[in-house]
Structure 1
Amino acid sequence: MSRDSAQVRQIELPDRDLLYTLKRSHRRKTIGLKVSEDGLTVTLPARVSVAEADAVVREKAGWVIDRLEKRQARTAPALRGVDGERVGWLGKDLRLSVLTHDKARTTVTRTEAEVIVHVDRHLDPSDSRKAVLAALKRWRKAEALALMTPKLEAYARALGAKRPKVSVREQKARWGSCSSDGSIRMNARLIAYPEALIDYVCAHEACHLLVMDHSSRFHALLDGLMPDQHRRRRALRETRPAGGAF
């Protein structure tokens, strides 16, 4: 690769693919990483190998993904917890309806078109918005756990694997993770994505119950569960979630 040329590379991280643009510079003494509206760009000194670029991207993956997601979030309005905003749900935008009641407890219900939050009418506007956002996050985690747990259990049965212990967190760098003890942790933010993409992440993590790495054996298992896994993985990378960022 000449100093003036650039190439797009793709590396596979634990639960997603990451594309980056690789450039060379005779002026650089160290490897440079830059996140912009065009994504991640890695600039290599003249005599540094491409393998070292991949290694640095893997090492800095958490930082890179955090920056990429923050940049993406700026393109989607952040939820403020007020009536009329949009909440992502399985690839759809649901209207946020904020209603007041005489109870201290904030409650959340969902219909086909709305997410309805009832909040204490005695709260001032700032505290009301905070209560709404906190309730939405609790609701998102509970809904994600209820949706994903049976999917993961079904994939585990299909593989002949032990039933996993499933938990849900709000994570920035991973869609999911599987521990050697059979525990699977899923990302609550997935609930905003189409269900077919959630299925892909669940199948991916279930395969890690048997194979912890991303070897050919792992991909053979995943192909058996989901023959179109590559298409879904690409769609997950390219899809912007519905609703506001929160």
Structure 2
Amino acid sequence: MSTLYPEQQLRRRAMAWALQLKVNPKRVDIAEMPKKWGSCTSDGVVTFADELAQTDKRFQDYVIVHELLHLRYRTHGKRFHAMLSALVPDWRELERKRLRSNE
């Protein structure tokens, strides 16, 4: 059992993915985000919803990878989706399930 708070675990998970993806976010924040799970600014600040820390690890990975890939690919183009699919093969299913549970 980890002694880290859920938000700290989420930040640590994000930084581990950043190393694997070879991207360097300027900052990783955890904040209240009632309408979305994450965001990435053009200057490299990645923010995750505090509620994301309470979701399952597979969904966390999807959101983390999605936002970190924006440090390399600004838009949701072919390369973005190819990388996302390579790293989180079931991302479409995860996204559908999460959208359904938020309706």
- Structure 2 length as normaliser, TM-score? 0.82
Q: How does 1:19-34 map to 2 (within 5 A)?
A: none
- Structure 1 length as normaliser, TM-score? 0.37
Report the equivalent of 2:68. 206
Gaps of 5+ in 1: 1-110, 112-141, 241-246
Q: Secondary structure at the residue paired with 2:89?
A: coil
Cα-Cα RMSD: 2.1
CA distance in 1, matches of 2:26, 2:17: 10
CA distance in 1, matches of 2:33, 2:57: 18
User: Against the structure 1 CA distance between its residues 164 and 150, is the aligned structure 2 distance closer, same or farther, given a 3 Å change threshold?
Assistant: farther
More strand by share: 1
CA distance in 1, matches of 2:101, 2:9: 20
Q: Does 2:38 align with 1:176?
A: yes
User: Against the structure 1 CA distance between its residues 144 and 187, is the aligned structure 2 distance closer, same or farther, given a 3 Å change threshold?
Assistant: farther
User: Against the structure 1 CA distance between its residues 192 and 160, is the aligned structure 2 distance closer, same or farther, given a 3 Å change threshold?
Assistant: closer
More helix by share: 2
Instruction: Note if contact 2:27-2:44 (Cα within 8 Å) is conserved in structure 1.
Output: yes
Q: Does 2:101 align with 1:239?
A: yes
Gaps of 5+ in 2: none
- Structure 1 or 2, whichever has the larger Rg, is 1
Highest RCO, 1 vs 2 (Cα 8 Å, sep ≥ 6) = 2
Q: Does 2:33 align with 1:156?
A: no
Instruction: Note if contact 1:175-1:190 (Cα within 8 Å) is conserved in structure 2.
Output: yes
Percent of aligned pairs sharing the same letter: 30
Aligned residues: 100
